[in-house]
Amino acid sequence: MARLKIRGQDNLLEVPNELAKEIKKIVLDNSVPRTTPIDLKVMMVDKGAVSAVFLDNERPELLKYYDLSYPEHKQIIKDFENEINFWFGTQPDDKKTFNDYMVYQNCLTENGSVIERNIKLYEDFMKKWSALQILRFLRKKAQQHEAEANQSLEIDVSSIPF
């Protein structure tokens, strides 16, 4: 049995592998609109609601990442951001790169190669760094949206007849 990750649901949904292959084709096809309904046999969802498809030969535990829709994952990334920001604040201005932080954490050598005994730590930091970049992007978009919404609420008082 294959598994699907549906947005808004905590558990993975099990579906037959053949159905999962068809769903995966639809999800990966950019020409199919996100609002296209998909019949999962037990429920109907829009294409946009399917966030991941794991075929029976793919093990979800091997495909771990930080999903910002989960509050505990988001908190891990926020804690990581605080740690990074604190570290950046303690460094001279000319030495503020993520690679320098990775050297400090003994994940990279000075020349940028991964230290073999700390490869798991390196992989975890890279997953956190990727999730942090996504979180920062989402914050930026939310701020832009809020600014646009606030501009649309402005009223020209001089145009109101009293």
The whole-angstrom separation of Cα 19 and Cα 30 is 19
Q: Is the pTM of this model over 0.85?
A: no
For tokens 């159905």, the residue is 19
Q: pLDDT grade, residue 79 (50/70/90)?
A: very high
Tens digits of per-residue pLDDT, 24-33?
Answer: 888 888 888 8
What ranges in 13-105 are assigned the alpha helix state H? 17-28, 71-89, 98-104
Tens digits of per-residue pLDDT, 96-129?
Answer: 788 888 888 888 888 778 888 888 888 888 889 8
pLDDT above 60 for 20: yes
Q: What is the residue-averaged pLDDT of the chain?
A: 81
Q: What pLDDT score does 63 carry?
A: 43
Sorted by where each begins, the domain ranges of the chain are 2-63, 71-152
Q: Residue 7 is which amino acid?
A: R
